[in-house]
Chains A and B, each alone.
Chain A
């Protein structure tokens, strides 16, 4: 039997299905880029009503000079050792009230984590990248300690818990009581090592 037409018509009925399949694939795999960074709070303009007396031993001073060198507690220090030094200071627990601290209980260092303050000072000519690295290490010191405690109490890391709490998607996934519990747990860990990072005004010499 001879054919009358040149080529048979290709059935295009399934094209829509293929298109939808691809569309759904890309929808699922692409994530719209979100920015991320270090969250910090600036101190308010008004000074506190009354002057609080803070013992020198409860302050951990970090100075960055214009060449990016670190002076920690009046000693020159490499950036790589900063996290460890900050952690040692935070969980020192000299007054013995902190039962979860694993520090050395050195009487010349901080009394307990809620009193320990890290003071960061930098020069006007310090490079921003150095400053971010130092900030990252100090925040990292807090996070490491909090992670350790969260691991001990709840069996998972603090960063994970906090991320779960802050993620807006979980508002729909979790029930109100679950969210409330998560919030309390996060708060509890935060209070164990409250973040007290003070930044003095920069010096210009």
Chain B
């Protein structure tokens, strides 16, 4: 039984770590591909409505975002529960929308300044009054192209 006799007792063989860098790189690449850059953290509730006749917002560099919705739980003490507008990282009033659009437009390269789209990410429970005010502001600064960002889904689910 000489074949089996030489086993060293209690001594674990070392696992080769030569492939560790490969695994790490693999994970790195995976996360690099799936993560999307988030510009601003949400301060408002943002459950978008559903729609079917939607178009994709291609070319992220020509989009300006406006968020509307009820402040999230932690901000409700300070800002109340009425829907508010969020521009970049802070709450704003309706009359600041125009200047925000102008400021964002000035940041973009010259050739994109006339083709900007304003993406309105509005919570489904917001009222149209606020949206109408925002639209009025957008018209005043001549930002006429808007996109009501929605999820894809049956529009009649919105009514429940």
Contact = CB atoms under 8 A, between A and B. Distances in A.
B102 interface: no
A2 B144 CA distance: 83
A148 to B, nearest CB: 15
A38 B129 contact: no
Contacts of B122: 128
Interface stretch (B74-82, B85-93, B106-114, B147-155): B147-155
Contact of A126 (B6, B127, B140, B144): B127
A60 to B, nearest CB: 18
A36 B55 contact: yes
Contacts of A41: 144-146
Interface string A121-135: 011111111111101
A68 interface: yes
A82 to B, nearest CB: 11
A140 interface: yes
Nearest to A8: B13
**At the interface, is chain B mostly helix, strand, loop or mixed?**
mixed
B6 A44 contact: no
B159 A36 contact: no
Contacts of A168: 58-59
A44 B140 CA distance: 8
Interface in B42-76: 48-60, 63
A30 B124 CA distance: 28
Contact of A6 (B13, B29, B135, B156): B13
A79 interface: yes
B155 to A, nearest CB: 4
A19 B145 contact: no
Given A2-B6, A30-B33, A126 B128 contact: yes
Contacts of B132: 122, 124, 201-202
A51 interface: no
Interface string A86-127: 000000000000000000000000000000000000111111
A23 interface: yes
A36 B48 CA distance: 11
Given A38-B53, A132-B51, A3 B6 contact: yes
Interface of A: 2-3, 6-7, 9-10, 12, 15-16, 18-19, 22-23, 26-27, 30, 32-45, 68, 79-80, 122-133, 135-137, 139-140, 143, 162-163, 166-168, 199, 201-202, 204
Interface of B: 2-3, 5-6, 8, 11, 13-14, 16, 18-19, 22-23, 25-26, 29-30, 33-34, 36, 48-60, 63, 117, 119, 121-129, 131-132, 135-136, 138-140, 142-150, 152, 155-156, 158-159
